[in-house]
Structure 1
Amino acid sequence: MNNYKKTNATLWNGRTSGNQLYLHEKIQLIDLENEELPYADATSFSILGYACDEGVKRNQGRIGAAEGPDCIRKMLSPLSNHFREYVKIIDAGDIVCNVNDLEYTQSFMANKISQLLTKKYFNIILGGGHDLAYAHYNGIKTYTPDSIIGIINLDAHFDLRKITTQGNSGTPFYQIAKESDIFKYLCLGIQQESNTKELYKTAKEYDVKFIENTHYTLSNSASIKKEIDNFASAVDYLYLTIDLDGFSSSLAPGVSAPSPMGFSLDIALKSIAWICDTKKLLSMDIVELNPKYDIDHCTARLAARLIYFIMNSISSN
């Protein structure tokens, strides 16, 4: 079965201006399997979906994240277009998981991510479960094998679970750590209640840097910025991954593992801006949207606005 699906063009719709006043009028759909992907000759973003929640299922989470990419597209579609004319945004379709074969799906995804990076697009990957991170990192590493890649994860969880039988949405960074000569990982928003003593022990073993949610607040902006800057200075490129379950469930109810004690939007936006300012950010993803449990699409809207914020920050730098 084919693991690739071109995006349904009807997802990108809304008011028609005839002058690209809205994102759905600016977006260009590309079929990665049957069309030639042009080189990006200016600031260019590629949107690629990871329609997979097999990892969430294996991790005993609430399934439904496979529907996340299309819901985020729907919330991006009607947003106003304030990007310069030369900024290109393409939708490169979805990678889907067939017959529960997570490992093949991750390998297929990594290849597509590397392909987009080779053509000089900034990747915006829409999850899907956080098992996407293992594929995403490997795609970046294939593209730039001799570079030190720093991972910054906005999340309630370390996702450093050791593999017992198969990888899942709780194991991606452990898998990366085990396979990497140099493992650079910074977690922002970790919740003690959501991570066992064993996970903290694993984090210490691999020298993971982290800030817990009780300190990941606007009042600690100076120390958080210093942590991000210090982390960025020690790597060649940054990969940003945003797990929506890190936010308070008042902002993001539609996730696989909601929590009322998550971090706020203000410190997340500041952190993202600081990360973009390093000019080392190469690729990003946003994961764990579960539309089945969303309320008035507010989690999908949050995801869309975060993506818009990142594109605006990068294209303005």
Structure 2
Amino acid sequence: MMHPTYSPPELSIWKGRASTDQAYLHENILPLDLGAPQIQAATSLQPALLGYATDAGVTRNSGRPGAAEGPKALREVFGRMPVLKNGAQTLWDAGNFVCPDGQLENTQEGFSRGIARLIQNGYFPLGIGGGHDIAYAHYKGLAAGLERGTRLGVLNLDAHLDLRKPDPLPHSGSPFLQIAAHCAEIGTDFKYCCLGARRDANPQELWDRASSLNVMLIERPELRAATLPDVIQTIQGFLDTLDALYLTIDLDGFASAYAPGVSAPSPMGFTPDTILPILEVLLESKKLKSVDIAELNPAYDRDAQTAVLAAGLFHRILSDRRLF
């Protein structure tokens, strides 16, 4: 029996231009009900969307609400995009985990189980937030679903380190400290790289904590054309220590000109131009096992451009012949 916070897929959300040859994603969606006693095992690696439809963690972290609608907004935009012949031809929709009562921990536990089940059945999870507290649930599920002894690391594209202490409950600013504690609990190394962290977005306490936890930091000023080769070399060094990588993308890391619809916007963020070459490196490594996008807040979006950015990043992954 699936977790009580689970909501099965709603294919009516998927709309777009009609074609005679199923040229668009909305025409190639299959439902994957995680509430079923058994789910269809993938015969080859298959992408599966799983929503984390809550902003309870954002509210706990004094952020502006609205990200609970992120999974719906991304699906609405994503479905209009084309299917390309070199990538995945089918996209599975595995539904959402919701948080109707504000009990974030229950939603995280359900989402974690959902990720583990997808991994164990041969799927490539594409998580949609929701607050960045998705990261703790996603990592925990991924660690449970992979083979024992796998050296798992997380790369976070983000303005924030998200190493705050629960106060007293966990929230959208605490997931990577929770992951560090989980790693200690299961006896594995905490391997965390934060790409795009900003000095104006994190108090000194968090920089000190990152240092004490041996977090690999690539700060926002390093993300420019002149230094990008050095950044890529650093990331490759990080990948060399891993067997598997989990990528989490907090949309508030992007400059607000590109991503206005987030919980904590800033014009000081990075640009898509600097992130896409890095994504290529991650895909080339063949160590990428799952991805999520967090903090999509359609209540503050303009012309759905943040949703389009998020969907475009997913589309690049979905269209990669090295994965699918």
Q: Which TM-score bucket, shorter chain as reference? A: over 0.9
Secondary structure of residue in 2 paired with 1:92: strand
Correspondence for 2:161: 158
Cα gap change, 1:137/1:85 in structure 2, threshold over 3 Å: closer, same or farther?
Answer: closer
2:40 & 2:318 partners in 1: Cα distance? 19
Could you list the per-position Cα deviations for residues 71-126 of structure 1 after superposition, in whole angstroms to 9, with x for gaps in the alignment? 00011111111145874320000010131111111111100100000011011000
Identity of matched residues, %:
42
Residue 218 of structure 2 aligns with an amino acid whose one-letter code is I
Residue 127 of structure 1 aligns with an amino acid whose one-letter code is G
The gaps in structure 1 that reach 5 residues or longer are none
- Aligned residue runs from structure 1 range 230-241, under 5 A: 230-241=237-248
1:258 & 1:120 partners in 2: Cα distance? 36
Could you list the per-position Cα deviations for residues 137-189 of structure 1 after superposition, in whole angstroms to 9, with x for gaps in the alignment? 00011112421211000000000001231100000001111221310000111
Residue 49 of structure 2 aligns with an amino acid whose one-letter code is I
1:58 & 1:230 partners in 2: Cα distance? 35
Secondary structure of residue in 2 paired with 1:226: helix
The gaps in structure 2 that reach 5 residues or longer are none
Correspondence for 1:298: 305
Asked if structure 2 preserves the Cα contact closer than 8 Å seen for 1:246 and 1:263, the reply is yes
After TM superposition, the runs of 4+ consecutive aligned structure 1 residues lying more than 3 A away are 83-88, 314-317
How many aligned positions are there? 317
Correspondence for 1:180: 183
Moved more, 289-298 or 76-85: 76-85
Asked if structure 1 preserves the Cα contact closer than 8 Å seen for 2:87 and 2:318, the reply is no
Moved more, 166-175 or 86-95: 86-95
Query: Are 1:104 and 2:106 matched, yes or no?
Result: yes
Cα gap change, 1:18/1:34 in structure 2, threshold over 3 Å: closer, same or farther?
Answer: farther
TM-score normalised per structure 1: 0.96
Moved more, 140-149 or 83-92: 83-92
Query: Are 1:118 and 2:120 matched, yes or no?
Result: yes
Asked if structure 1 preserves the Cα contact closer than 8 Å seen for 2:47 and 2:88, the reply is no
Identify which of 155, 166, 170 aligns with 1:167: 170
Query: Are 1:274 and 2:259 matched, yes or no?
Result: no
Cα gap change, 1:61/1:86 in structure 2, threshold over 3 Å: closer, same or farther?
Answer: closer
Cα gap change, 1:19/1:226 in structure 2, threshold over 3 Å: closer, same or farther?
Answer: same
1:222 & 1:86 partners in 2: Cα distance? 29
| Cα RMSD (Å) | 1.5
Correspondence for 1:222: 229
